[in-house]
Structure 1
Amino acid sequence: MDLSTLAAELAPLNLRSCLISRQGEMIFEHYRDRHAALEIAKTNSCTKSILSALLCIAMDRKLLPQTDTTIGAFFPQVATNRNPRVRDITLWHLLTMTAGFDWTEFGGQNSFPRMTRSPDWVEFVLEQPFRDSPGIKMEYNSGISQLLSAILVQAAGMPVARFAELNLFGPLGIESYKWERDPQGIHTGGFGLWLRPSDMLKFGQLFLHQGTWENEQLISRDLALQSVQPAISVDAPRRGFYAWHWWADSYGGKRDHSPASSFDYFYARGFGGQFIHVIPALETVVVLTDDKAKKAQFPGDVFRQFIAPLLLRF
């Protein structure tokens, strides 16, 4: 990989950070300034993938039941909900965002901003009307992530952030973070986690190694793999597939093509240019972060346009 070429191509984009590790070695490290390396910043919806990992840990420890369990086990109020379809929603539907709610994250109904202005986010989500039956279609929905965060609180018997400290952040050596909460004090499941770029890289490396970190199996191999497997296709303009609060796609050809000409990857994605890309066949993790106003951001896909072509030639 001609890293000097990459540095020159990324310079006009003025990213907050770009980190690339291969086989556990940092091969490219860029920060806009020295503060970006040390300061925590919003990961936005990358929070969803962190939450997914915590849910996998809870499943490993038998704190959570099978994914075909319906949400009435956690929210008994759905028994009297005016829409009976809510009682058919399972943990799997929540993890894959296929619950069926009529939800427009931004635009249209502006469901996400309405949720954040409501006095009880969980109740707001559970009372939303339906567009589809559960399991039919993926509809991006940060409210679903809040339901999962509330479920984890019940299962673990402690705040989500504390569960993370004990079972994920601590083992990974993540010491600096901030995590926002909803009006009931539940940590935000779909956004609101602040991390350093280097700690985002550690998280990606954990999944590159199928749940193993420094010879310790933090997440079972089976669940680490299952949680990032394509579960349902997504509609344009989004690409690829959705997994358990992860995205999955391929570059350079059809999925499962020869690694010499293409590769599959999965990634965490946050609004405003926050990404953790994991490319198993190339033993590579790529972290991208940005903090510029929307109009000042690069309008394309930085990973696919600038980094992925170089990875195939390295």
Structure 2
Amino acid sequence: MDTMDLSPLTASIAPLNLRSCLISRHGRLVYDHYREPGTAAEPARINSCTKSVLSALVCIAMGRGQLPDAATPASAFFPRLAADSDPRKRSITLEHLLTMTAGFEWTEFGGLNSFPRMTKTPDWLDFVLELPLADDPGTRMEYNSGNSQLLAAALARAAGMPVARFAEERLFGPLGIEAYEWETDPQGVHTGGFGMKLRPLDMLKFGELYLREGEWSGEPIVPRALAVRSVRPFIESEEPRRGWYGWHWWSDSYDAAEDAAAEPGETDSQAADGGSGAEGRQAPALAYFFAQGYGGQFVYVVPSLDIVVVLTADKWRTDRPPGNVFRKFVAPLLAAELRRAVSAG
């Protein structure tokens, strides 16, 4: 029987004006909060969580032999990379696109402001492919929604159908996801890095799929080896982002002692107590991987506790919730559960 106490969460998130907060454990919904009654039925923007959905579709296509393996040069789909005057572009692989390490000169927002510039051009693929390289492929992560658009285009060509139709047949259909919306670029390619709308419960299903390493109702949807590989840390992100990046998935860990020590006003004894078991044994850090979208859209997967957490928000322009909702309000409760499990074990 699940005895995890989530009652403190309700009071904690009340002032945040979250659109939704859902938690499942062992495949069962154990906590659900919606700001408004109709929220559950309404698809809403998941922003860059779209990237993780695209990752799943890429893995499915690779498993079916429609896309080649991740080490394949991207020039197999975009020949101009091989013809470019910079020979380094020939070494860009599908995995470099998935891990944001292709090396293109890019700043998503601010600086070069590449993402808004791309979306204002008549051909997004041309815009990305013509960019110079700032780094050797595979050496540095630079968050880049242009990489995602290249992957979406490659998937559409390999599958011989629009990305959304492929999703309906191979991912959304099996998961029972029917209510969704998905934008396209000027050429009709579905947006790989953003532009999808889903319901919170369908986001939870997607997280459950990855908690089960690609399996749904006993059937393999995403090949297990690729599902596991896609969420594995590949490269560490740079400030101000934290965590590691995989194949369009993030990963990180929460250490109660470290986080408590970092909070102003915490005493050393409080910090130390946060990370130890009842009998003085140090609890392991709470490891998790997650899909992340601008403005508070998240799908967190915590394998050690068999838990999925979905957070959504829609007030980021006028009343933006803190970006660390999970780490500040949810992770401490999960870490306490992990400490209890260590003590009991």
Q: TM-score, normalised by structure 2?
A: 0.88
Counterpart of 2:333 in structure 1 is 310
Amino acid paired to 1:105? E
Counterpart of 1:21 in structure 2 is 24
Counterpart of 1:6 in structure 2 is 9
Shift of residue 83, structure 1, vs aligned partner = 2.5
SS in 1 for 2:88: helix
Counterpart of 1:268 in structure 2 is 291
Counterpart of 1:293 in structure 2 is 316
Q: Does 1:284 align with 2:307?
A: yes
Query: Rg larger in 1 or in 2?
Result: 2
| CA 1:82–1:307: 2 relative to 1, 3 Å | same
SS in 2 for 1:264: strand
Amino acid paired to 2:235? I
Counterpart of 2:195 in structure 1 is 192
Give the number of equivalent residue pairs: 312
| CA 1:6–1:91: 2 relative to 1, 3 Å | same
Give, in whole Å, the separation in 2 of the partners of 1:289 and 1:200. 10
The RMSD of aligned alpha carbons is 1.5
Give, in whole Å, the separation in 2 of the partners of 1:128 and 1:259. 48
Give, in whole Å, the separation in 1 of the partners of 2:230 and 2:282. 22
Give, in whole Å, the separation in 2 of the partners of 1:296 and 1:87. 45
- Percent identity, please: 62
Counterpart of 2:269 in structure 1 is none
Structure 1: any 5+ residue segments left out of the alignment?
none
- Kindly provide the CA deviation profile for residues 157-201 of structure 1, in whole angstroms up to 9, marking residues without a partner as x: 000000000000000000000000000000000000100000000
Amino acid paired to 2:124? W
SS in 1 for 2:329: helix
Give, in whole Å, the separation in 2 of the partners of 1:240 and 1:259. 22
Counterpart of 1:174 in structure 2 is 177
Q: Is the 8 A contact 1:259 1:281 kept in 2?
A: no
> Which aligned pairs between 1:107-122 and structure 2 lie closer than 5 A?
107-122=110-125
Give, in whole Å, the separation in 1 of the partners of 2:197 and 2:53. 11
Shift of residue 129, structure 1, vs aligned partner = 1.3
SS in 1 for 2:231: coil
Q: Is the 8 A contact 2:24 2:307 kept in 1?
A: yes
Amino acid paired to 2:285? S
| CA 1:259–1:231: 2 relative to 1, 3 Å | farther
- Kindly provide the CA deviation profile for residues 220-265 of structure 1, in whole angstroms up to 9, marking residues without a partner as x: 11111000000011111111100000001011179xx999442210
Q: Does 1:65 align with 2:68?
A: yes
Q: Is the 8 A contact 1:18 1:286 kept in 2?
A: yes
Amino acid paired to 2:334? L
Bigger mean CA offset, 6-15 vs 291-300:
291-300
- Kindly provide the CA deviation profile for residues 126-181 of structure 1, in whole angstroms up to 9, marking residues without a partner as x: 01111101000000000000000000001100000000000000000000000000
